[in-house]
Amino acid sequence: MTALTLISLGICVPAASADPVDPDPFGYKDLTSMFVTPFDRGAFGENADKSIILSPYGTSRTIECASFHGQGWCRQFDHLGNEHDLYLVKVPTGSTEWDYRGVYVYNPF
């Protein structure tokens, strides 16, 4: 009934449009913008919501992360193109398990 009323009034409802489908929803994504080094301006101020990266490359090289079923992992490539894992250390910032700031540590090996 409502559809007929809208049509009779000449009101057009736009068709729904979806976001493009990610071909690899569980694959690595560039999340470099979500990281700061401890020496970056605002790392403990306006950027306190970002994770900290402890790496010889800081944020100058791409930081990629992936996740699946609540588990996540990150990596960074060195200047020779070798992949290095970034290990997460959770620094508590509140009273629950989910209140923490992520500190990702570069594994040189």
pLDDT in tens, 3-18: 544 445 455 455 555 6
SS3 104: strand
Tokens 């992520």 map to which residue? 102
**pLDDT of 41:** 92
Q: What are phi and psi of 5, to 5 degrees?
A: -65, -45
Q: Which two tokens stand for residue 78?
A: 């060195």
User: How far is residue 35's CA from residue 18's CA, in Å, rounded to a whole number?
Assistant: 29
> Is residue 74 pLDDT above 60, yes or no?
yes
What integer is the mean pLDDT of 25-51? Answer: 94
User: How far is residue 91's CA from residue 38's CA, in Å, rounded to a whole number?
Assistant: 13
Q: Which two tokens stand for residue 43?
A: 């790392």
Q: How is residue 34 annotated by DSSP? A: G
User: How far is residue 57's CA from residue 61's CA, in Å, rounded to a whole number?
Assistant: 6
